Structure 1
Amino acid sequence: MAELKYLLERLSYETLCGSVDIDVTKVVYDSRKVEEGSLFICIKGAVSDGHEFGKQAAEKGAAAIVIEDDIELPEGITVIKVKDTRYALALISAAYFGHPAESLKVIGITGTKGKTTTTYMIKSILESTGHKVGLIGTIEAIIGDEVIPAANTTPESYIVQEYFRKMVDAGCDAVVMEVSSQGLMMHRTAGFVFDMGIFTNIEPDHIGPNEHESFEDYMACKGLLFRQCRTGIINRDDVHWEKVIEGHTCEIETFGFSKEADLRAADTKLVSHPGYLGISYNVEGLMNFPVEIDIPGKFSVYNSLTAIAVCRHFNVPVENIQKALKTAQVKGRIEMVKVSDDFTLMIDYAHNAMSLESLLGTLREYKPARLVCLFGCGGNRSKLRRYEMGEVSGRLADLTIITSDNPRSEEPQDIINDIKTGIEKTDGKYIEICDRREAIEYAIRNGQKGDVIVLAGKGHEDYQEIKGVKYPMDERIIIKEILEKAHL
């Protein structure tokens, strides 16, 4: 139960009908969930417009309705008009849950790549010094011992506020969250101020009819974070960094390899031995110390440097940072699984040409005896992605094992044939094993000394979707079963 006037107090609005001096039982933006006494907010979605259900909400007993377009409603109901109902939902939700962000240090990370890994690194480092940290991201939300699988990178504003409330109630003092450009554009993060906003990098991505109309629009949406945070922590090496922070209202500090960056990485060295790949470097500038990470590649330097830049503001001791980074692992993001002293096996979420090229290019730098890439492509998705991924793997891997991913309603063999169209443009060797479990078993049984084997595409997913049904499939469990069967 909440007083409507209190829920609206930080919002500009017009009362078209009724009074704001009433109590509402709950805040709802899905008309199917309206109950007697609810406040219903008419949201314009990609598929339907909540304004079309306003009358239905009133008939179900809604006490008040928030609109941005004029609609016909029965008499006797309070009608509030605002400029943007999505923005209103964010501010009303924050008030409804008692402005929980004001009791948390809120860290938001935006960028094309690196958001997920960086959030887990920050959580790991902060928790090593006794902070209790909530997480909202692409894979899951973590609130104390509760883990909630994610539907969106940045959930709807009501859910964000609900999570914040639960975090405060669970004793969290900080939250680290991935902030998508869509989330910023759709006001999912309105209604509170981030203590820190982080920009990792930006590449032309998410451009299309249902996302951003242009790269400029994509950059502008990312930049909204820096008008909603107190401190902006920026990757100075990204060529677009100045454009992204245009119009910022926060303090700015930078990180990167650049000599002009406030926090810098220097003397980078690749670290490898059987079953292990990592990278070491020296931190210079605002802090000075050596660090080694158990995740390969230059982007691991960026991710860890970002985490260090954030944790500096929490006065985390250097030894805690070093220790936490040494053990920080993210499910399905270059996740190494120990199977042999002879070769290295890892699981990664790379599921498009850009991410696969980045991954395989990184692993090539470690000069493996053979680089083996096992992957498939999702059904009911662009054929172009299949051709491109086939071509990338054919060019960069010594052996490609083509298999199934989530075939959905397509025939797995049809998808494999499309991948072969791309791979045959190269001189790359490949074999095809349609059953993913059999393909993984083949990769492990035929691993050779010095090989690096990557299982790409599934990452953190623990299912395989076939003909509308999601069957359990966790690659970690499959690997364990293969090793037990082989008595390895």
Structure 2
Amino acid sequence: MTLTLESAVALLNQHHLLREVIDGNVWTTDSAELPQRTFSDISYDTRKVSAETLLFCKGRFSPEYLQSANELGLSCYVAQEDFSEYTDATGIIVRNATQAMSLLSAAFYDFPQHDLTVIGITGTKGKTTTAYFTQAILNAYSGGKTALFSSVDNCLDGVHYEESDLTTPESMDLFRMMHQARSNGMTYLVMEVSSQAYKVDRVYGLHFDIGAFLNITPDHISSIEHPTFEDYLFCKRQIISNSSRMIIGADSQHLSLLREDAEREHVPVSTFALRDSTNDMQDADVVSVSNEHTRPAFGLYENGKDIGSFTLSIEGDFNEANAAAATALALSAGVPVDDPSLHAMESIRISGRMERFTSEDGVIAYVDYAHNYASIKALVDFVYQRYGSRHPRITLVTGSAGNKAIDRREGIVKAAQDRIARFIFTTEDTDTEPNSEICAQLMGYVTNPAVEAGVILDRTQAIEEAYRDAQAHADRLNVLLVTGKGEERWIKDLNRHVPFEGDSNIVARLFRKVAK
């Protein structure tokens, strides 16, 4: 893994990103005038450099950080401004440092995407589950040669899964992981692609063999994410022009706009959908069909042809829609319609995603990552679909992330308040915004006087109270919905990662029973 100053300058010139290179008194765009230099490492951390490291100065970079890099022998950096006042290192000055980092990271790791069939999945809801289903199918089909990058886990060898930090990693980490996956013999890569990945150029220059656009509803609207829904949708739409083929949800909002994007870029489109009858399949290419008479089994159809009957280990009809999306992706990737590997998704369980628990005294709990209007509404819809005839008493234990996606807070309350018995608002991840203020804002959105609502900031105590309260109302079926954290073993509180038992583990301990 090497990159030269000459090849870096040539690549940046090719993409019209180079402003100039500053090497002492020499200012130039001609690499022939520059000293020969080879980089054996790349970094965006000034504490991790050597004389052979190319350092990327991106984001809210302070030039004072260069002092430690100078002491470690820094010889070259990439930045959007000249830092000659702070370092004697050669400066590659570019129009956009994050775009430059993505392109040069791909080059440093010898363009690993060229040796992988890369599948990118975006959407407001269902990215993770669809990614897991798709990886399961392709992993079975390829004999264990499918990597996964998701918001829950990353898998670089088709076998071992490790907790991830970001939905879509920083570009340097992304290409490093792709390189490792290629070295491990992987031939497919399935990855989630967030709107922020396009907003901050984490996937700049990356082309997907197949892209998927599942759905779109307002989310991630805040001063530090997307200022408007239009911006959020625009960022997600970028996957279309960066894919060779697209899978799009037939019921997605703004479908006509998505189709216009694809037609303009000459990208062929296949669609998927969930329907309750085989008489209503004409508007989508791959369809899941299920209703109250067939569940938990559902049928899959491609262009009207029966693929077979399936039963998932994850509950919820929305996951049957995700199964249709995964099937469409797998078929587009070359899996035959009659291949048994399509059934590999049936056994998939994802920690913290629609995990069902039943206590010895009959209380039912679902732990899920639901965190916005669409996902909370789908979760409550599912409870009524599954248990509505038993008139369930539903308690929702939830919070909302701090410093971002402010619109989620009203949406969470709006999605549930007319159909549940009680809210317990509690702590969730935040950077600097106090959880007490977030919970107070959530309380302020509760307008239905018939629903009980309160705040218990300690998340463990909040879940424990929900269970005690359910036991006190044993004359009815009690369903606890614990959302937002899943199995994560930490809570980000005021920029610190505080150890946490995990929602799934707390419920399992209280119920004295494993999930089933």
TM range (shorter): 0.7 to 0.9
* Structure 1 residues 183-198: aligned runs within 5 Å: 183-198=197-212
Conserved? CA contact 2:198–2:236, under 8 Å:
yes
1:442 alignment partner AA: R
What is the CA-CA distance between 1:110 and the residue it aligns to? 1.0
* Structure 1 residues 225-304: aligned runs within 5 Å: 225-244=239-258, 246=261, 247-257=264-274, 259=281, 261-265=283-287, 267-270=289-292, 278=296, 280-285=298-303, 288-289=306-307, 290-304=309-323
1:304 alignment partner AA: A
- Distance in 1 of aligned mates of 2:499 and 2:394: 26
| 1:136/1:380 CA distance change after superposition, 3 Å | closer
Q: Of the candidates 120, 125, 136, which is equivalent to residue 108 of structure 1?
A: 120
* Partner in structure 2 of residue 361 of structure 1: 381
Correspondence 1:96 to 2:115: no
TM-score, normalised to structure 2, is: 0.80
1:255 alignment partner AA: F
What is the CA-CA distance between 1:106 and the residue it aligns to? 0.8
173-182 or 72-81: which moved more?
72-81
Conserved? CA contact 1:279–1:294, under 8 Å:
no
What is the CA-CA distance between 1:413 and the residue it aligns to? 8.1
* Partner in structure 1 of residue 488 of structure 2: 461
Q: Of the candidates 134, 148, 170, which is equivalent to residue 135 of structure 1?
A: 148
Conserved? CA contact 2:397–2:480, under 8 Å:
no
For 2:299, what is the secondary structure of its paired residue? strand
- Distance in 2 of aligned mates of 1:326 and 1:266: 13
* Partner in structure 2 of residue 346 of structure 1: 366
1:356 alignment partner AA: I
Q: Of the candidates 477, 482, 488, which is equivalent to residue 510 of structure 2?
A: 482
Correspondence 1:79 to 2:94: no
* Structure 1 residues 52-451: aligned runs within 5 Å: 57=69, 60-72=72-84, 77-129=89-141, 130-144=143-157, 146-244=160-258, 246=261, 247-257=264-274, 259=281, 261-265=283-287, 267-270=289-292, 278=296, 280-285=298-303, 288-289=306-307, 290-312=309-331, 313-316=333-336, 318=338, 320-321=340-341, 323-337=343-357, 339=359, 344-368=364-388, 369=390, 370-378=392-400, 389-390=412-413, 392-397=415-420, 399-400=421-422, 402=424, 404-406=426-428, 422-423=445-446, 425-428=448-451, 435-439=461-465, 441-442=467-468, 445=471
What is the number of equivalent residue pairs in this alignment? 478
| 1:431/1:76 CA distance change after superposition, 3 Å | closer
Structure 2 runs not aligned, ≥5 long: 24-32, 275-279
What is the CA-CA distance between 1:402 and the residue it aligns to? 2.1
What is the CA-CA distance between 1:436 and the residue it aligns to? 3.2
What is the CA-CA distance between 1:298 and the residue it aligns to? 3.7
| 1:170/1:384 CA distance change after superposition, 3 Å | closer
Correspondence 1:471 to 2:471: no
What is the CA-CA distance between 1:465 and the residue it aligns to? 5.7
What is the CA-CA distance between 1:414 and the residue it aligns to? 7.9
What is the CA-CA distance between 1:476 and the residue it aligns to? 3.1
2:324 alignment partner AA: L
What is the CA-CA distance between 1:350 and the residue it aligns to? 1.9
| 1:20/1:158 CA distance change after superposition, 3 Å | farther
For 1:6, what is the secondary structure of its paired residue? helix
For the aligned residue pairs, the C-alpha RMSD in angstroms reads 3.6
* Partner in structure 1 of residue 44 of structure 2: 29
- Distance in 1 of aligned mates of 2:412 and 2:499: 25
Cα offsets for 1:360-386 (capped at 9, x unmatched): 123212243214223032585699866
What is the CA-CA distance between 1:15 and the residue it aligns to? 3.8
1:288 alignment partner AA: D
Conserved? CA contact 1:283–1:291, under 8 Å:
no
256-265 or 150-159: which moved more?
256-265
Conserved? CA contact 1:127–1:133, under 8 Å:
yes
- Distance in 2 of aligned mates of 1:202 and 1:214: 13
Conserved? CA contact 1:39–1:65, under 8 Å:
yes
Conserved? CA contact 1:264–1:284, under 8 Å:
yes
What is the CA-CA distance between 1:260 and the residue it aligns to? 5.0
| 1:181/1:70 CA distance change after superposition, 3 Å | same
Conserved? CA contact 1:279–1:297, under 8 Å:
no
| 1:213/1:279 CA distance change after superposition, 3 Å | farther
For 1:34, what is the secondary structure of its paired residue? coil
For 1:192, what is the secondary structure of its paired residue? coil
Conserved? CA contact 2:358–2:513, under 8 Å:
no
* Partner in structure 1 of residue 277 of structure 2: none
For 1:10, what is the secondary structure of its paired residue? helix
| 1:186/1:158 CA distance change after superposition, 3 Å | same
Conserved? CA contact 1:3–1:24, under 8 Å:
yes
| 1:52/1:260 CA distance change after superposition, 3 Å | farther
TM-score, normalised to structure 1, is: 0.84
For 2:209, what is the secondary structure of its paired residue? strand
State the percentage of identical aligned residues: 25
1:358 alignment partner AA: A
| 1:227/1:459 CA distance change after superposition, 3 Å | same
- Distance in 2 of aligned mates of 1:354 and 1:211: 18
